Amino acid sequence: MKIKLLITALLLFSFISVSKSQSLVLSSDTNNVMIGDLVNLKLQFNSKEPIEVSLPYFNLDQVEGIELIEESEIDTLRNKNSFSLSKRFTVSAYDSGSFVIPRLSMLFKSNGNIDTIYSDSLILYYNLPPVDTTQSIKDIKGILDVNYSDNSLLYWIGGIVLLLFIIAAIIYYIRQRKSKVDDKEDIDYDPNIPPYILAVESLRRIEQERLWQNGYFKKYYTEITDVLRVYYHRIYGIKTKELTSHELVAALENQKMFDSDCKSYLEYINQYSDLSKFAKANPLPENNTQSLKYAFELVERAKPLSDKVEGGENVQ
């Protein structure tokens, strides 16, 4: 019996320690305003150490009556004893009443484990301006006489014709531009260098530049993924430039020399690339070095295709 109580106490202590190490706070500068007034909300994640995390998507569509006016970029703050990510939102409401912003949840990775943390919910109160019911209702201003001419119909017709002409011109321009883009994707590389050699030389240059060691995480992952996109474009003839990370993986799944291991390698690189680009996170050193190793491995595995295919043309 004593052993069970001891185990329960240890588990409870462990849960309390984790909850104190990380927190997700949703706050506002005020919660009792007039309709139309602006309220500043702040969503902040706090931790005692840097960990892999991305702030949750703040969907105000779930709160009927609240409108998002402006949102800030993610702000990262780190020092010796703390690490935090924060983002500000400016909202307003144009009807009276109380509006409940539900609690938000997010995933974070710490010590190799993925855990979930929740914020508290938040209530905003919007009030109507006071009205003196003892006073009579009257117009703000008197009726204004306006001179009306029948020639205005001609202006309306001319404006509609001009608008239709502009719309037709825009549609024609978009279609012409899209057809040119579809014919040939514009990716910058030297076609005189075989795909494998160009990819390996580019990855070695990235390794020598020591970008992530100097704090340039986003540039580091951007250059790695660009090298892979050019490589796959050349050996498979796939238009990789405008594809998202997930679309690129899907486009490569049925290609030769791209097996399940290659898919895992590319998804690993994309995971930390997206964290550095969109969440402004700083992946750990082992993640950065492993991503570059996987990039080299992906190039090596497709090497047999490098000397045969060049975006649909033979490499001499």
* Calpha distance 113→98 (Å, rounded): 38
Joined tokens for residue 293: 């190793």
Of 69, 108, 155, 142, residue with least CA distance to 279: 108
pLDDT computed for residue 204 by the predictor = 93
Cα-based distances in Å from 78 to 43, 113, 281, 282: 16, 21, 12, 11
pLDDT in tens, 183-242: 444 567 788 889 999 999 999 999 999 988 898 989 999 999 999 999 999 998 888 888
Of 223, 230, 228, 224, residue with least CA distance to 190: 230
pLDDT computed for residue 6 by the predictor = 40
* Calpha distance 192→258 (Å, rounded): 25
218 or 139: whose pLDDT is higher? 218
HSE (CB half, 13 Å, CA atoms) of 120?
8
79, 47 contact by CB (below 8 A): no
**Partners of residue 287 on adjacent β-strands:** none
> Residue 164: enclosing H or E segment and its boundaries?
helix 152-183
Dihedral through CA 225, CA 111, CA 215, CA 244, nearest 10?
A: 20
pLDDT in tens, 230-284: 999 999 888 888 888 888 888 898 888 899 899 899 999 999 888 888 878 888 9
Q: Is the pLDDT of residue 119 over 50?
A: yes
User: Using the 8-state DSSP alphabet, how is residue 143 labeled?
Assistant: -
Return residue ranges of the chain for CATH 2.60.40.680.
19-127
Provide the edge-to-edge strand list for the sheet that holds 113-118: 52-53, 105-110, 113-118
pLDDT computed for residue 179 by the predictor = 56
Of 241, 211, 210, residue with least CA distance to 228: 241
CATH topology for the 19-127 domain: Immunoglobulin-like (2.60.40)
| Percent of the chain whose predicted confidence (pLDDT) is above 70 | 80
pLDDT computed for residue 58 by the predictor = 64
Of the chain, the end-to-end C-alpha distance in Å amounts to: 79
Q: Is the dihedral of CA 149, 151, 152, 153 positive or negative?
A: positive
pLDDT in tens, 165-176: 999 989 988 877
Burial of 89 (C-beta count, 10 Å sphere; 0-12/13-18/19+):
buried
pLDDT in tens, 35-59: 888 889 888 888 777 777 766 666 6
Of 89, 24, 35, 34, residue with least CA distance to 58: 89
Where are the strands (E) in the chain, listed by range?
Answer: 22-28, 32-34, 39-47, 52-53, 66-71, 75-78, 83-93, 97-101, 105-110, 113-118, 122-127
What's the chain's length in residues? 316
Question: Which amino acid is located at 159 in the chain?
Answer: G
Question: How remote is the C-alpha of 243 from its chain's centroid?
Answer: 15
Q: How confident is the model at residue 292 (pLDDT cuts 50, 70, 90)?
A: very high
281, 215 contact by CB (below 8 A): no
**C-alpha R_g of the chain:** 29
Taking residues 86-98, what's their average pLDDT? 86
288 or 141: whose pLDDT is higher? 288
pLDDT computed for residue 19 by the predictor = 46
pLDDT computed for residue 139 by the predictor = 65
Average pLDDT over the chain reads 79
pLDDT computed for residue 148 by the predictor = 60
CATH topology for the 195-306 domain: Four Helix Bundle (Hemerythrin (Met), subunit A) (1.20.120)
Return residue ranges of the chain for CATH 1.20.120.
195-306
